[in-house]
Each structure stands twice: as C-alpha cells, then as structure tokens.
Structure 1
Amino acid sequence: MKFLVILIASIALCVGNAIPLVPGDNSHYIEGESRYIWMPDGEGVPHRIDLEEPMDAALQNSRNGANNQYWLYTRQNPNNAQILIDGNANSVWNSNYDGRKPLKVMVHGWNSNGNFIEWLFNTAGGNWNNVHLIGFSLGAHVVGSAGRQAGGRSARITGLDPAGPLWIGNSNALNSNAGQYVEVIHTDGGLLGIFTPIGDADFYPNGGRYPQPGCSSSSCSHSRSILLFASSVRTNHFQGRLCDDINQAQNMQCTGRVFNMGNGIVTKRGSGIYGLTTGSSWPY
C-alpha cells in the first residue's frame, strides 16, 4: 500500500512537471502544480515558460523605468507614433499631446507606470478623471499597480484576461481598488488568465474559459479578450447579463439585467458578474 501511494504521488509530480510539446496548448496546465506553460508574446507567438525558473538578478538590477518609451497616437497621428520619454519635457511639448483631452494608456502583456502619468500631467497638464488604463495579461496587473500608485484616481481601468499563473492571491494583482471603476474581461480563466472576479464588474464571454469560439488553443482564447474589447470600442454591441454567481457565468446561465461589456466610455460605472455569448469571428 505504501508503494502504491508513493507511486501515485510520483506520477502526479511527473504530470505537474511535464514539458508541454505543442505550442500554445495549455490543456496540461493545473494551477499551483504545473511548472511549464505556453505564454503568447506581443505578436501572439507562444513561448514555453518555466514558472520555477530563478529570477535573473543581473537583468532585474539593470531595469530602469526611465528607459521606457511611451508611444503617443492621436487623431493627428493615428498611424505613426510620437515617442514620449519619461523626464524629457521636450518629447511631450513637441508632440500632439493635449492635457485637455481624454487619455487612454494601453499596456500589452508579457515580453512586450503611474509615475510617468503623474510626470506627464505635471509637464503638460491632464486630469485623472479623463484617464482610462487598459492592460492585457501581465499588462493588466501593470495598470493595476499604476492605478494604485496614483491613489485609485484613474477614472477607469480595463483588464483584458489578467494573467493567472503566479498571480492568484497576489496582493500586487489588479483589483477593484486600482481605479474609480475597474472592469475585467475573462476569456482564458484557469489557464493563462485569472478566473475569479477581481474587478468592480467582471465579464465572462462564452463562460470565460478556453476554448473561446473559433479558438483551438489557450493562447488564442487568452488573446481573444483584446479583439472583443477592440470590437466593443467600435460598436458597443456586447450585452452582458447579470449572474447570481460565477457558476452561472461559467455555464452561460445568466438572465439578470443588461450591462454592456467593454466600450471606450471613460465615465462608465457598474458592478457585478456578467455572462454573454459572442461569435467566432470579427466583430464577434
């Protein structure tokens, strides 16, 4: 009997540490047990990540936020970014930045802060009530940190399938204290994304998990949150239904009041868990 128990434990350990071979396939992943996971980069290309790999101390020590570049797009330059550099006032004064207008700050995910926004406002004006922070995957936690650093003054924060591995229960993760209104769109919950509600309003399109319609990989489902949000900004057509609990959301059984998912309205406010269904191709 002791041999059987040890054998079962050994098999479980091997499964948890098994190296996944099919790029983007995270069907093996078990939260808190699996060591490896496929994580898409900014171009959607999956990379195999070792969650137990020690931090590179030299890289960590070399990081300097002052080296970050911020790409500014306005109606005057919709296709070609103007580069804003933290601490370089001329980069702002010589750009199309206008502190009187709403500001959308977008942060992509892996391989892709609030101090910069404060500096930007002090340099060329701005108002936190006009700020909408948007982050995908790890970027969702970045904008959450930036929002808390600013005392939760940002008018709105949108988290697009916030990263799950190593972030569940993490005090630095995106939460409802990060802004005046925090909205989260879950599309790969339990794998690359967090499944539990963490915002003021949490939306679970198609159950909030893999596979999203038309997706054959976890990476695709994870990235679907970006496309759903982009589509909602253009047409504001996704109508969520209030759920009694997260189980209703997962099983797509929500029948409560309607509240639209996404859109670009900076003054948007709401709360609760919402479920909805979408299509498999643009505009979904």
Structure 2
Amino acid sequence: MLQSSSSKCSLLTVLVLVNVIGEFPLLLAKAGDSDLNEVRIGFGTSFSARRDVRFHLYTPLNRADAHVFSIETVDTLMRSFYNSSHPVRIIIHGWFNNATSLVIQGIKDAYLDAGSYNVIGVDWGVGAGESYFRASQYTIAVGLVVADLVKQVVRSGMAELERLYLVGHSLGAHIAGNAGHSLKAQPLHVIYGLDPASINFFQDEPDSRLSPDDALYVEVIHTNTQLSGYPAPLGHVDFYMNYGRKQPGCKTDVCSHGRSTEYFIESLRNTTKGFWGVGCNDYAEIRQRTCYNIKQQAVMGGEYWQKNITAGVYTVETLAESPYAMAYAGALSSRDVDNHEWHIAADENGNMRLVSYAVPYQLDGEKAKRDFVPERDTRFLLYTASNPEVPHVLRNGDIASIQSSPFNPNNPTRMIIHGWLGTQDSEINRLTRSALFFGGNYNVIYVDWSVGSLDEFYPNSRQLVYAVAAAASNMLDYLARYGQLNKRDVVVVGHSLGAHVAGNVGKWQSGAIPTIVGLDPALPFFAGDAPDRIMASDADYVEIIHTNGGVLGFMEPIGDADFYPNYGRVQPGCGVDVGGGCAHARAVHFYVESILSRHGFVGQQCESFQNIRDGTCAQTGATSRMGGEPPNAEGAPEGIFFLQTANSFPFAVGC
C-alpha cells in the first residue's frame, strides 16, 4: 500500500513516541487494506512463543540482576534465589515493550519494596516488537506459555495457585486472560488487567481476550478507553480512572494508557492514601459520567487479600501528578506475605469487609471503639429441647444460673461459636441447634461474644480469640463443677474466626475436649504458625472443613482430618463468588446438613495435600464421614479427604 509523505512522517512520529514513552497500540491500516499483517513496526520476523519468551525472576536477593530462564528451563529456579515460601507475581508487558519496560521494572520494584515476593517478568519482546496486529495475534500463544509456567511451578510445589497473581498491561492483560482461560481446571485466583488493549479484541470473542471467566477475581483498571484501552467492562470489578478517558496531567493518549501502570504501582506502595472508587449502577453511567453511589465504595489495586469489593463498575478520581491518589485509605500493600496491611474478612453471612491492621478506619470512615471484657461480656446461651428458641443465660461465677437452668448432664453438650460480626441471630446458631434438636436431646451452648465481634476493625476482634476462649473454657469448668458436665460428652464447633476460638478452648482445656470441628477457619492474620490458631493438638480429634481455602479460609491442612469439599477453594452453585463469601459460608451449610443427612458426606482419603492442590485426588481406599452427629472422635481415619457436593441443597451427593 502506497503512503503519502505526510503519513510516513506521522508513522515516524509514532515510532519516536513509542520508544520514548512506551506502549501505544495505534491502528496502522484502514479497513479494506489487503494484508494487515504486512504493516510492520520494529524488526521482528518469525516469533515462536515457546522458543522466544524469556522469564526474568527478581527476588529481594536479586532485585537488579534477573535470573533469566525459558519455558524449557523452569527447573533452574531450584538453583536460583527463588523462595517457595514467598508469593509469586507474574508481570506481562504489552506491545513494543520488553523486560526493561516500566510495566515490569516499576511493578517489580513496587512489590519488592512492599515485601518478600518472587516476581517473574514475562519478556515476549521478540513478538511484541512486530506490528501491532501481528503482536495482538501472539497473545494466545504467549498466554499458553505463561499457563505452562504456572502449571510447572504449582505441580513442582514451588507455588500455590492462591498465592500466584498475574498482572498484565495492554496486550499483556489479554495474555494474562488467555493464560487463565487455559487453566480453568485449576483456576487462577487473581488477574489484574491494566488498561487492556482495545484494537483487534472483540466483545463477542471472550475466549481470546481478558474476561471474568479467566480467574476467580479479575480486576481491570481503565485509563484510555477512547483509543488504546478497552472501553467495556472486562472483569468482576472494573475501575474507570477519571471515567476511563483522558487522565489529568496527560496531553497524549500514550500518557493516559501508561497511567494504569503508574496507578497500580502507587497502589502497592506504603502510602497513607488509596485509590477509592465510587460505585456506578452500570457501564452506561461511566459513559454519561453520572456515578454517585457513594454507599458502594472499593479500593483499586493494592493486594487482593484485603479487599471488600462488590462486583461491578467504579470510577476513581485522581490528581494530575504523583502521588495520584486522593482519598484517605491507609497502606494498601504488605510488608511481608503474612502481614498484609489490608485483608478481606467475612462475617457470618459471607459478606466481605475491607480490614486493616494498620489503620483503624473502615469503609464508612468511622473508628470503632468497643469496650469488651471477655469474662463480663461473653454470653453463654443454653438451648435444650425444652427451650429450643428462647435461651437460658449461663453466667460464669453465678451458681444460680446453672442450678435454675434446663441443663441436663445426661445429654451430650455442643458448644457453638460464631465468627466476626456474628451475633445471637447468626446462621451457625439458628441452623445448627435446629438440626441437633431435630435428631435428639442436646445441651446447646451458644457462645455469643458479639460485643467484641461486632467491632468493625477486624484486627481487634481477631485479637480476642484467646481471651474469648478462656471465658468459654471457664464456663465448661464451672458446668463440670456445679452442673455435673462430663467433658467427654462435649464437642466444640466454630466457624471462621469462631473456629480459632474453638481451637483455643481446646488449648485452655489441655486435652479434655474429645472433638473440635473448625468450619473454614479464618485465614486473615492467622497465616503461618500463629500460636492462637486452631491446630491438631487442640483436642483428641480436630476436624477441619475447608470451603474457601486461600482466600477467606485456610487452605493448608491444620487438623487431624482435613476435608476439602470440591477441592476446598470454590464451591459449585456460588456463581461469580467475588471475594469468596458464598464459599466461606458453605462450611456451615455442609455441617448443618451433615447432622440431618441420612447419606452423609463421605470423604475419600487422598495420598497427600498436593493432590488437593493439583485437583486430582489419588485415592488410598480409606474413607471418612465429614461432620455428622455424633461426629468423629479419636481413632477415626486421619489425613486429607476429598468429596464432591451438589450445587444446592441437599448438598450431600446421594442424599
């Protein structure tokens, strides 16, 4: 195709801008041109993703000197500074970039400034240096190579999927999406798409572009929807910075397109501000610039562990110069993997909240101040067959409260404990006691510590688990002394934060409790070997039911028997479960049904926890019942158990 001298000059100008400022996907041919692939920028010739893609590993020990490897030499990570105890972040550049780009170097530095990470930059510069249209066609092939890398590091035990995130800019966002698309059997947990490229990607072809189906959580940051960036929502959560158009302080589309990277980098820094988004009812409000749902807010970027986000569309206002964030929010990044400043935590109904250890302010901007003394404020509500709805209140140190109660030492006792933001009306109380009374006579003691759990500042509630457990343990001792309670007839059951309270009851009882059941024990601020988390040594038999592992609940086995319904991460029937609230609450529903079900939930023992990670249980032939009444006790099969459930009630297969 012949070009005028003016068009050649225009093309030369674009090339200069690309080299100076960065990626800029420009439409280089008009409709009707015979062969778009013949339009070339750069000097790329024949690109093979498996042959030409290089991975650059950066860690705290080699921030500047990358360990470079290919898809055929992933095993060399074992001889590098790679640390399998650190989370993995894979960063993917876009058109006309390579490993030296701001996308990789800037985001890498931000992560390593924030904590201990394995940061892997995906350098597909050989292909990215070709014409935009040819480079855009390489995104599927490069995505498959990235997916292969993920499979290899997960299969070898060097990484866990829930701690491995993908971040891609422009064409790199679609590469991340294509990688996630090919990993649906074991889905990625998080993808961040930074102003995904628009040209040559179409709304009716989600399999070749970034889409919500590519990971359990897909967040998209739009900064140049009028030219380079994709205009329509592509994720579970889409942030339109300044309504996604020209960015303040930018005079060119190149600048606006690149701002998505700069905003994301800043969101990872230890700053006192955050990028707070205001909710929109739909995408039409973005186009009309009429988003005013101030009751629905969310924080853009940062680390995912920490987010309280309702799926949808948001707009974020920024400043014209760095630092760009305007709203007060507190630090969004982590100082190390197990102490993120911001976490996501769920209440009893699976509703997510954004919580911070460093800043005692939550989404409503109010500082929670609650006066909670465990011995004084923890209530012990006794339900029996004679008073199944109206509880009798037991009080530590009050003999009359025991002597006047309907407590019957001849009946088994079940102590039930709610989690964060739980109350007397929580599902775990209402549903569990109803199921128990349907099948027999019990003393159901509900531990209501809502004066402490209703603290909107989650870390305050988290720090109370040991003290609340001490009060509950004292009540058991008091009942044993004045109510003839036989502690061998006691089972303690707790959900989420309440599971850790249950574990600590066992610690205080020094082995006197035969069975403790932890329903998806809370993960935020309990990672690693926190001494006050639930663990196998808390009772003769500790059973854990994992339903949202790696997000709101623990993924690693921490009991004598760990059950992983549907492999313990996501649960069928929960749909697009942004944040995992539905899956987290399923632990309670499964447990309640296990009490009522004639068939029960039968788990197949797997050879190892790695089977659960891989999503393929190598069965040993041993089985064990999950939950149930009476529950398992010492002597029951131990280990890792997998079972499938239906996607709605009744969940037990074959019930």
Q: TM-score range by the shorter chain?
A: 0.7 to 0.9
Change (3 A) 1:277 1:17: closer
Question: Could you tell me how far apart the structure 2 residues matched to 1:24 and 1:195 are?
Answer: 24
Whether the 8 Å contact between 1:69 and 1:86 is mirrored in structure 2 is no
Post-superposition shift, 1:24?
Answer: 8.1
* Deviations, residues 142-173 of structure 1 (Å, cap 9, x unaligned): 01111111011111100000111111220111
- One of 263, 268, 279 as aligned partner of 1:13: 268
- SS of the residue 2:537 aligns to: coil
Question: Could you tell me how far apart the structure 1 residues matched to 2:563 and 2:631 are?
Answer: 17
Question: Could you tell me how far apart the structure 2 residues matched to 1:36 and 1:275 are?
Answer: 31
Whether the 8 Å contact between 2:500 and 2:532 is mirrored in structure 1 is yes
Question: Could you tell me how far apart the structure 2 residues matched to 1:29 and 1:261 are?
Answer: 37
2:509 pairs with 1:173:
no
Letter in 1 for 2:343: I
2:596 pairs with 1:234:
yes
- One of 246, 249, 269 as aligned partner of 2:609: 246
Letter in 1 for 2:302: G
- One of 146, 153, 156 as aligned partner of 2:515: 156
2:242 aligns with: none
Whether the 8 Å contact between 2:303 and 2:333 is mirrored in structure 1 is no
- SS of the residue 1:144 aligns to: helix
- One of 490, 495, 504 as aligned partner of 1:145: 504
Q: After alignment, is 187-196 or 268-277 more displaced?
A: 268-277
- SS of the residue 1:122 aligns to: helix
Change (3 A) 1:261 1:7: closer
More helix by percentage: 2
Change (3 A) 1:195 1:142: same
1:71 aligns with: 381
Q: Which has the higher contact order (CA 8 A, sep 6+)?
A: 1
Post-superposition shift, 1:206?
Answer: 0.4
- SS of the residue 2:268 aligns to: helix
Whether the 8 Å contact between 2:518 and 2:542 is mirrored in structure 1 is yes
* Deviations, residues 159-205 of structure 1 (Å, cap 9, x unaligned): 00011111122011101111111000000110111111111100000
Post-superposition shift, 1:80?
Answer: 2.0
- One of 583, 598, 601 as aligned partner of 1:221: 583
Whether the 8 Å contact between 1:206 and 1:252 is mirrored in structure 2 is no
Q: After alignment, is 200-209 or 119-128 more displaced?
A: 119-128
Whether the 8 Å contact between 2:562 and 2:639 is mirrored in structure 1 is yes
Whether the 8 Å contact between 2:307 and 2:353 is mirrored in structure 1 is no
User: How is 1:266-281 mapped onto 2 (pairs within 5 angstroms)?
Assistant: 266=631, 268=633, 269-281=636-648
2:394 aligns with: 84
Question: Could you tell me how far apart the structure 2 residues matched to 1:282 and 1:132 are?
Answer: 25
Identical residues among aligned pairs (%): 29
- One of 106, 113, 124 as aligned partner of 2:416: 106
2:182 aligns with: none
* Deviations, residues 221-248 of structure 1 (Å, cap 9, x unaligned): 1110000010011115111000111121
Post-superposition shift, 1:54?
Answer: 5.6
2:492 aligns with: 133
Change (3 A) 1:246 1:63: same
* Deviations, residues 247-273 of structure 1 (Å, cap 9, x unaligned): 212414242211111112155333111
Q: After alignment, is 119-128 or 29-38 more displaced?
A: 29-38
* Deviations, residues 48-72 of structure 1 (Å, cap 9, x unaligned): 2224336999757x42323211111
- One of 557, 570, 592 as aligned partner of 1:197: 557
Q: Where has structure 1 moved over 4 Å in runs of 4 or more?
A: 1-4, 28-31, 54-60
- SS of the residue 1:248 aligns to: helix
Whether the 8 Å contact between 2:308 and 2:352 is mirrored in structure 1 is no
1:187 aligns with: 547
Q: After alignment, is 37-46 or 151-160 more displaced?
A: 37-46
Change (3 A) 1:271 1:6: same
- SS of the residue 1:16 aligns to: coil
- One of 255, 259, 263 as aligned partner of 2:628: 263
Question: Could you tell me how far apart the structure 1 residues matched to 2:488 and 2:554 are?
Answer: 28
Question: Could you tell me how far apart the structure 1 residues matched to 2:333 and 2:629 are?
Answer: 34
- SS of the residue 1:71 aligns to: strand
Question: Could you tell me how far apart the structure 1 residues matched to 2:483 and 2:551 are?
Answer: 41
Larger Rg: 2
2:310 aligns with: 23
Change (3 A) 1:50 1:94: same
Tell me the C-alpha RMSD between the 2 structures. 2.9
- SS of the residue 1:37 aligns to: strand
Change (3 A) 1:33 1:146: closer
Letter in 2 for 1:244: E
Question: Could you tell me how far apart the structure 1 residues matched to 2:346 and 2:353 are?
Answer: 6
Change (3 A) 1:6 1:170: same
Letter in 2 for 1:119: Y
What are structure 1's unaligned runs of at least 5 residues?
none
How many residue pairs get aligned? The number is 280
Change (3 A) 1:128 1:75: same
Question: Could you tell me how far apart the structure 1 residues matched to 2:482 and 2:416 are?
Answer: 20
Question: Could you tell me how far apart the structure 1 residues matched to 2:344 and 2:479 are?
Answer: 36
